[in-house]
Structure 1
Amino acid sequence: MVSPDEASRRARTRFSRTAPTWAATVFLHCALREQTDNSQAPGEVCEGLPFTVPLHPPTERQAIEDSAAAHAWVEVWRACRFADLVEWGIRRWPSVGTQTVPERLIMRTPQEVARVAGASSEWEAMRSRSCDIALRWRSSWHVRHPDADAASLADAVRSTAQQAAKVSPQDWSILLAVIDWLSAHPHETPYARQLPIRGIDTKWIERHRALLKPLCRAINGAEPVFAQPPRCVRTHVLDRGIAPEGIVDLALPICELDRIVRRARLAIVCENLVSTLTLPDIPGAIAVHGGGYAVGDLRCVPSLADLPLLYWGDLDTNGFAILNDMRSVFPHTVSVLMDRETLERHLDLCVEEPQPNAGRLSRLTEEETAALEALRRGDPAHGIASLRLEQERIEWDWACGRILQAASSAESGS
């Protein structure tokens, strides 16, 4: 015998699995109702409906063996909050007479499934928001983007329905306004803060990006793009004579870094910020704090191609991968303190690299490749699979001497 609670759990499972598809059906019905038969309610064409839960009423033997339990079960169903959805049947049993028992629970519409599942408010939010999108689609979005396909937007509604139902009414209004604006200005890339919408800010966009992306993609054919603050690069001028107004410590948008680099005769890209700020004075030199795997951003600094360029990264597989990427932009890059000598001198200071890079690195020199292979061999005696020597672990006086030597060699071309 199936209890109302068990039937409710089954309805909840069906609702969670299928409600997004029902929401998409509601959207299509509202969006295309001028071309469809309005006499056909959405519930009649929704997938998986009617949904029937057999209740397995007691048999005659069960009724005889425990008549109190059988009677209580029937009364529970008669009093439950969705008793109106129960289909009853007649049992004519010689031993206990004619009995009326609940045979099955039949849910014919999404609303009825939601009611049994205890999800009426959730379904109402899904339904109303699907209709909101459909009305916007009909009134403006489709007019601005006639090539957009209602079926594609229905897919977006399906993928976002559950998340949309959880959004507050205020945030839902903001979201529709954002899509309205993006739909009307498909070629603009503003900062989120610039949108003329009350309550909008950058954090709001980040919180609701998962909702915006599929809906905008279905309407505009592209995901929403907002301007981002340029990445600022920490720069340390190692020769005060070429520093602007004598200022040696700068943080510049990467697009403006070239103006400083043009003053230099030598550039050093260094992955560790403290190392960048404490490098020794070098005539005509400038140090740039690297951005890890964002090293490709340095394409915006074309002057780096015109002067000797040193790279000092962590002595690990990812450091060499970044060096490899660096050379895809600036093939003349020379590494410093990324060799076997440095590794072997500080082997006792190595730790395990948490996420080694196993890729093929084709732009390394023979000496760099030898160091990389030593790192990848690890230290089996101490249970280390892949070695890592961080910049700050290297003896500072020794490191400065190597850097000065590398800078001199780079400038002289030797």
Structure 2
Amino acid sequence: MSSAAPFRLGSVALPVYLPSLLFAIGEGAVIPVIPVDAARLGGSLALAGFISALIMVGTLIGDIPSGWIVAKVGERNAMLGSAVAALLGLVLCLVAAVPAVLGVGVLLIGIATASFALARQAFMTTFVPRSYRARALSLLGGMFRAGYFVGPFLAAAVIGLTGSTRAVFGIHAVACVVVAIVLLVLPDPSAVLAERRSALLTDTQAIRVAEAGGTEREGLFRTIARHRSVLARMGLAAALIGGLRSSRQVILPLAGVALGLQESGIALVVGIAGAVDLALFFTSGQIMDRFGRLWSALPSMIGLGLGHLALAVVVLVGAAGSPTAVAWFVAVAIGMSLANGVGSGILMTFGADLAPRHDPAPFLGAYRFTGDAGNAAAPLALSALTAVFSLSAAAVVIGAAGLVGAGLIARWVPRFIPRAARA
């Protein structure tokens, strides 16, 4: 039997991927209604936007300590704790009578999301061999993307049935309860794969594993200090990747407004683009495992950078309501989604390649913080540049940053993730 056999995920795929899909569906449902509920509670548009951003702020706050938590209690316990923490946040959202209470609930959901996502990535890093790691992680990323795609449609259905936006928080609450049940009822994949691996080890290999397992854990801050070079360089690349992705989600609706499209038309274009993005998540993993990480990361960053530049031209020269301008807008939106889809799972794969395999969680927490920082910073930068200059100018700056990021990836990936490590 091949040494890789105990690591195949087929028999544990359900407990590995189902909790992530359920959690993402719940979160994808509540994200669109957070600003609506904040405004219903009397918050201004600015306050509603701030409360919406707290879910990302919570994720940033939770990224680094979640690495310590996962290392201490294990992946399944961390996911169970995250589901309970998210449930507490949702209860606050459901009973909130003032925007401040809603904001605390949203912040808690974001913190829980950080620990939940990192726990599953740490499992993948520990157990999945490099030869098909990217496919496994791309599939994990696809579960989150599928959840964020399905969630808003489910929210719309619930609102249509109940006439209440607040009822949508119940979707995520139910999802968290089901996640906890799934985690408790189905076998722990970490335990299953560890047992299989131990059963196939020779005596010498078992001694080496035991020695590695007995190695003292470095802890959060020592891990960050030891890996500060790779975190600084690859972390910057991760921040730029995250920034380009989150900017795409914001700039497409803004460009649609600038071109005079109706809300329904913008939603249709964004929905089609999201479907294109979702359809490519496993293809990305195939590319990375067969040809190397650069063949996914570079086309994705270059495509997103050029897409922002093309969008700047469309907005700058396109007349509002012009069929030609709208056609170009649709083409650019789909092109950017293709670029984003080709890079599906790249951040998690980079993190898994770079993290120490015996104790990945502290490193992954710090690494995920950099990507999430880019996710949070890019929309703010886009808004500021648009306010000071114009939407086209903002698109040019962010597009140029994407091309710079592609250059950094081309420079640093071969250094920190050599070809031999990708085989």
> Is the TM value for this pair above 0.5?
no
Query: Greater share of strand residues, 1 or 2?
Result: 1
Task: Compute the TM-score of the two structures, normalised by the length of structure 1.
Answer: 0.26
In our comparison, the structure showing a higher alpha carbon Rg is 1
Query: Greater share of helix residues, 1 or 2?
Result: 2
Task: Compute the TM-score of the two structures, normalised by the length of structure 2.
Answer: 0.25
More contact order relative to length (CA 8 Å, sep ≥ 6): 2
